[in-house]
Amino acid sequence: MMIGEIDRTCWHHDDVWDCPDFLIYYSAKFNEYGIPIRDGGSSYWAISHCPWCGTTLPASRRLDWYARVEHLDIDVWSEDEAQLPDEYRDARWWRDGV
């Protein structure tokens, strides 16, 4: 079920955040799963277990990401994502051991 939800495509919405059928979000950057919050933005509640079977999901790498980016002396709370190296915008930073 999780893979099906993560790979879901919608014929009616270009942006998954606009689709009410979009139930699970996966952030490759943080290796984190979540349930979208329907407030018009792209927020989600991070989850640690599959909502259907209860299987433990991989641990989030969010705290590691913030620590590494802060170590690069980048203001992680800034809205300016242009200052982030490309490899920190997706899973490359943890998958490739950057």
**Do 43 and 67 sit in the same domain of this protein?**
no
Q: Which domain holds residue 9?
A: 2-47
pLDDT digits (tens, 9 = 90+) for 56-95: 999 999 999 999 988 888 887 766 677 888 899 899 999 9
Task: Give one DSSP letter per residue of 43-64, joined into a string.
Answer: -EEEESB-TTT-PBPPPP-HHH
**How many folded domains does the chain comprise?**
2
In three-state secondary structure terms, 88 is: helix
Question: What is the percent of the chain with per-residue pLDDT over 90, rounded to a whole number?
Answer: 46
In a domain, 71, yes or no: yes
**Do 42 and 66 sit in the same domain of this protein?**
no
**Do 42 and 15 sit in the same domain of this protein?**
yes
Nearest to 64 by CA among 32, 33, 42: 32
**Do 32 and 69 sit in the same domain of this protein?**
no
- Which of these ranges, 19-23, 37-41, 78-82, has the smallest mean pLDDT? 78-82
**Cα separation of 74 and 56, whole Å?**
32
In a domain, 82, yes or no: yes
Confidence (pLDDT) at 80: 65
